[in-house]
A and B are shown apart, each in its own frame.
Chain A
Amino acid sequence: MWAFIHKLGSPKWFYAISTRLQPWFWGAAAVLILVGSAWGLAFAPADYQQGNSFRIIYVHVPAAFLAQSIFVSMAVAGVIFMVWKIKIADMAAAMMAPLGAAMTFVALFSGAVWGVPTWGTWWMWDARLTSMLILLFLYFGVIALRGAFSSRDSASRAASVLAMVGVINIPIIKYSVDWWYTLHQPATFSVTSRPAMPVEMWAPLLIMVLGFYSFFIAVTLMRTRSEILRREASKRWVRELAGEVS
């Protein structure tokens, strides 16, 4: 078991293993997202209150899930990098950050679009919206900090520390924003108090969530692989792969 993990930590082995894994995740992502969106957008029954506009949930909720999980994975990768000095973890963290920021933006944007038919406005200072917006700024901070260092090693370690600090703060921010909102006014709109969904509605949602996760894993693998090639470009196995050395 430990031998396998150590092997996975070496760029060469990770590259080899991910070559075999990658197509499966791409395939799963394509099938799940296609089935989920077709089912959710065309076949699931319309909501009795919101009509067809509720179908945006099939993009909104998976994106919001990913936005939060990616930050946590980034921090976990940061811990692995700082404690065990496994470079793959840092490469993965670096590659995850822009995807996480993009997913946070997708969640915010789809939420704003959804807000127009249901709340009659693009933006509400609702607790969830606010904490998502703060999450977006946290992503920007991590990406900007990594880009600001000229030495890659310092950049990696600084970004890891910031991701860890951020992940400790995310629950604190979330609960304080909830508190702030309830102080100001009672919750007029709440995503959680919607009537429980029937199976025909949440089954495609579950499929979409799984599809988004597969997509995240596939993209991270793909980007980490190209990052490995970039950082290890002078290594013998990479040059053999490129056909420079026979």
Chain B
Amino acid sequence: MPLFREPEGGAGVAIRATLKRDLVLMMRRRSEVLNPLVFFALVITLFPIGISPDPELLATIAPGLLWVAALLAALLSLDSLFRSDYDDGSLEQLLLSPQPLPALALAKVAVHWLLTGLPLALMAPLLGILLSLPAGSYAVLALSLALGSASLSLIGAIGAALTVGLSRGGVLLSLLVLPLYIPVLIFGAGAVQAAILGDGVSAHLAILGALLAVALSLAPWAIAASLRISING
């Protein structure tokens, strides 16, 4: 009779357990969930002060500002994605587990998006009011951010996994990840711009969806490979 028995079920159980564990951990550290949102609101407050409080001017640059600020907020939260797991050794357990690492990494990224990307997307319309974003583009803003931030989380996780073993990886992480964010930014901000101009937004949203599909299919493997490099190094 073996002392330790393999738990029932396979990858499905492991993925669900990872999801649940990460959600519980994140909910216990609420400030890590709230900080990107506060940062987002703060950055948006800086722009009228720094540029001009003129509503017309703000309305023209609002789509870009909101998208860039949300992107930076998502970027800031990336460093914590694998950091605490790396520090307490649970990342090594994840690597040692007999379940496919890309799937487990995907579960972690999903939690990150659920607690960073999605709240940012829901909060963006509120900040849009502050920037006098023209009516009719609020739903598109939230939708484009929700879609786009999922790609941002996936791409960013590659950078986070590559730099998790480094003691001061923060600035390096943004250097690695920001150039790769540019396509998402172009189509995300473009969707909001198109909604303001009254053009069709489906093309932009479709391309955001396509980017997400590519990221979903390729990024988990890159994240898994990067995690193995960071742990063994």
Q: State the A residues within 8 Å of B (CB).
A: 134, 137-138, 140-141, 144-145, 148-149, 151, 153-155, 157-158, 161-162, 164-166, 168-169, 172-173, 176-177, 179-180, 183
Nearest-Cβ distance from residue B148 to partner chain A, whole angstroms:
12
A183 near B229: Cβ-Cβ < 8 Å = no
Which chain A residues lie closer than 8 Å to B218 at the CB level?
A: 168
A to B CB contacts below 8 Å, 19 in the list: A134-B179, A134-B182, A137-B175, A138-B179, A144-B175, A144-B176, A145-B176, A154-B232, A154-B233, A157-B233, A158-B162, A158-B226, A158-B229, A161-B226, A164-B222, A169-B179, A169-B180, A172-B214, A179-B186
Could you tell me if B232 and A172 are in contact, using CB atoms closer than 8 angstroms? no
Task: State which of B44-52, B90-98, B164-172 sits at the interface with chain A.
Answer: B164-172
Residues facing A in B16-54 (CB within 8 A) are: none
Cβ-closest chain B residue relative to A154: B233
- Contact across chains for A151 and B233 when beta carbons are under 8 A apart: yes
Task: Give bound CA distance, A166 to B169, whole Å.
Answer: 19
Contact code string B168-205 (vs A, CB < 8 Å = 1, else 0): 01001001101110110011001001000000000000
Known: A134-B182, A141-B175, A149-B165. 19 other contacts (CB 8 A): A137-B175, A148-B169, A154-B233, A155-B233, A157-B233, A158-B162, A158-B233, A162-B162, A165-B158, A166-B180, A169-B180, A172-B214, A173-B179, A173-B180, A173-B183, A176-B183, A179-B190, A180-B186, A183-B193
A165 and B163: CB pair below 8 A?
Answer: no
Asked whether any CB of chain A lies closer than 8 Å to the CB of B211, the reply is: yes
B182–A173 CB distance below 8 A: yes
Give the complex CA separation of A168 and B154 in angstroms. 15
B211 contacts which chain A residues (CB < 8 A)? 172
Does B60 belong to the interface (CB within 8 Å)? Answer: no
Residues of B within 8 A of A140 (CB): 175
Which residue on A lies nearest to B168, using beta carbons? A148
Size class of the contact patch on chain B: 20 to 34
Cα of A91 to Cα of B138 in the assembled complex, Å: 51
What residues of chain A lie closer than 8 Å to B225, measured between beta carbons?
A: 161
On B, residues with C-beta under 8 Å from A are: 158, 162-163, 165-166, 169, 172, 175-176, 178-180, 182-183, 186-187, 190, 193, 207, 211, 214, 218, 222, 225-226, 229-230, 232-233
Residues of A within 8 A of B158 (CB): 161, 165
Q: Within the complex, what minimum Cβ distance (angstroms) separates B139 from chain A?
A: 21
Identity of the chain B residue whose Cβ is nearest the Cβ of A135 in the assembled complex: B179
Q: Give the CA-CA distance A137 to B174 in the complex, in Å.
A: 11
Q: Are B233 and A176 touching (Cβ within 8 A)?
A: no
Given contacts A165-B158, A172-B211, is CB(A180)–CB(B229) below 8 Å?
no
User: Contact partner of B165 among A141, A154, A162, A179, CB < 8 A?
Assistant: A154
Q: List the A residue with the shortest CB-CB distance to B193.
A: A183
User: Which 5 pairs from chain A and chain B are nearest by CB?
Assistant: A154-B233, A176-B183, A180-B186, A137-B179, A141-B176
A161 and B222 form a contact (CB under 8 A): yes
- In Å, the complex CA distance between A138 and B162 comes to 15
* In the complex, residue of chain B having the shortest beta-carbon distance to the beta carbon of A179: B186
Looking at the assembled complex, report how far the CB atom of B219 sits from the nearest CB atom of chain A, in whole angstroms: 9
Among B175, B193, B211, B218, the most chain A Cβ lie within 10 Å of the Cβ of B175
Contact in complex: A145, B162 (CB < 8 Å): yes
A176 touches B175 (CB 8 A): no
Contacting residues, chain A, for B222 (C-beta < 8 A): 161, 164-165
Nearest CB in chain B: distance from A146 CB, A: 11
Residue of A nearest to B175 (CB): A141
CB distance from A131 to the nearest CB of B (A): 9
* A154→B229 contact, CB < 8 A: yes
What residues of A have a CB within 8 angstroms of the CB of B193 in the complex? 183
Contact A176 B232 (CB under 8 A): no
The distance in angstroms between the C-alpha atoms of A137 and B207, with both chains bound, is: 24
User: Which chain B positions have C-beta within 8 A of A148?
Assistant: 163, 166, 169, 172
- A149's closest neighbor in chain B, by CB? B233
- List chain A residues, Cβ under 8 A from B182: 134, 173, 176-177
Q: Which of A153, A154, A173: most chain B CB closer than 10 A?
A: A154
